Amino acid sequence: MTARIPPPSTRALVDQLAEGDPDEVVTFAELLDRFSERSFGLFLLLVMLPCFIPLPVGVGGVSGAFVALIGLQFLMRFEHPWLPGFLARRKIHRHTLAGFRNRMGKWLGRIEKLTRPRNEGMFLHPAAHAFTGLLLLLLGIALALPLPLTNYPFGLILLSFAFALIERDGRLMLIAWGLGVAEIVVVAGFSGTVTKMCMDALHWLQS
């Protein structure tokens, strides 16, 4: 019986994406097609890149919209990410991927030591699959809100989802669930407080 060859780790996957001519460009569709069975994790990893690269304010809204799109596709039980045409044709420079690898290399190395394929039923059970999709949908919506200093916290939580999906690590997915629920609760509480303050200020102005 032939032994099953384990899939490449997240670190190896990112290294593959970053290798080559820094000025070379690849499309989103080409990247996802190379890693079909784990393409949702890769899609999530790619759309979170702007949260870790210095870019103009507002990129959280773009990343959040794509995270919500991934969540919807999970809820609808898509087997492979569907990309709108403009995104499928979107080109990414190798140096952008290399920059992400260099920034996150230390963490990727640590994660590689802790993660491995296990408890894969977390990715197959319909209820677990739907709950992952719901959390990604809510986190995507929350990330798109104009809240200050949220890119990195959201980015790290969503990266844990991405790593769990790529590595097929059910235990890491459980941790991602916990972090995701906690972040949603915090954002909901913060949003409620801000809304109350705005209403109080409006009533004061009208009095």
Quick: pLDDT tens for 16-50: 777 777 778 888 787 777 766 678 888 888 787 76
pTM: 0.76
Q: What confidence score (pLDDT) does residue 142 get? A: 84
Q: What is the pLDDT of residue 17?
A: 74
Residues in the chain: 207
Please tell me the predicted confidence (pLDDT) of residue 135.
93
Longest CA–CA separation in the chain, Å: 81
**Average pLDDT score over the chain:** 77
User: Would you state the pLDDT for residue 151?
Assistant: 67
pLDDT digits 0-9 by tens, 65-121: 889 999 999 888 888 888 888 778 888 777 777 777 777 777 777 777 777 888 888
Q: What is the pLDDT of residue 148?
A: 62
What six digits make up the tokens of 138? Answer: 């809510």
Taking the CA of residue 66 as centre, how many other CA atoms within 13 Å lie in the half-sphere pointing to its CB? 26
CA distance 92 to 27: 6
Write down the pLDDT at residue 2. Answer: 47
Q: How far apart are CA 81 and CA 179, in angstroms?
A: 24
**pLDDT value, residue 26:** 81
pLDDT value of residue 60: 60
Fill in the amino acid letter for 64: G
Q: Which pLDDT belongs to residue 206?
A: 61
Give residue limits of the domains in the chain: 10-206
Residues 6+ apart with CB under 8 A from 32: 39, 42, 43, 80, 81, 83
* Beta strands in the chain, from DSSP E residues, in sequence order: 25-27, 91-93
Q: Is the pLDDT of residue 203 over 70?
A: no
Q: Determine the Cα–Cα distance for residues 189 and 152; give it in Å rounded to an integer.
A: 19
